């Protein structure tokens, strides 16, 4: 496997596929910023301290997404996320485990 595909929900609820090469040593925050998603600010640079990179993972059970670590959980508890599916994209490293992940990017910034 040379790349993975992540699906990003659009305003009309359709999903836009985003192919990401493996081995790039980047987080989803960095990828999404690079793709021009402006609400992914990533102010703290990926330290799990700002919450401005949050995304909602719509199929976390389907892809068996690993749970958040303690630092991420602490930050997530301070964020306006009511579905229980929010994650900090800076803590999601691009690996094959993310293949097929469907995410929604909140329209609002913090």
50 binds ligand FES (CB under 6 A): yes
CA dist., res. 5 & res. 98, Å (int):
8
The answer to whether 44 touches 54, Cβ cutoff 8 Å, is no
Instruction: Select the residue interacting with ligand FES from 18, 22, 49, 81 (CB under 6 A).
Output: 49
Q: Is 51 in the site for ligand FES (CB under 6 A)?
A: yes
DSSP state of 45: S
Query: What's the residue count for the chain?
Result: 110
Q: Does 53 engage in binding with ligand FES (CB under 6 A)? A: yes
Task: Find all residues with CB under 8 Å of 82, minimum gap 6, and list them.
Answer: none
20 or 51: CB nearest ligand FES: 51
Alpha helices in 1-110 (DSSP H): 28-34, 70-76
- Comparing CB distances to ligand FES, the nearer of 8 and 88 is 88
Q: Which stretch binds ligand FES (CB under 6 A): 1-9, 14-22, 43-51, 77-85?
A: 43-51
The residue ranges that bind ligand FES (CB under 6 A) are 29, 42-44, 46-53, 75, 88, 90
């Amino acid at each position: 496997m040379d790349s993975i595909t992540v699906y990003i929900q659009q305003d009309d609820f359709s999903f836009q596929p985003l192919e990401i090469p493996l081995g790039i040593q980047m987080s989803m925050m960095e990828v999404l910023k690079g793709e021009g998603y402006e609400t992914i600010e990533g102010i703290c640079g990926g330290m799990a301290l700002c919450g401005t990179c949050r995304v909602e993972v719509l199929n976390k059970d389907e892809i068996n997404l690993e749970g958040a670590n303690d630092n991420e959980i602490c930050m997530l508890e301070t964020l306006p996320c009511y579905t229980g599916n929010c994650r900090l994209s800076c803590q999601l490293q691009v690996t094959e485990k993310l293949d097929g992940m469907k995410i929604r990017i909140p329209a609002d910034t913090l």
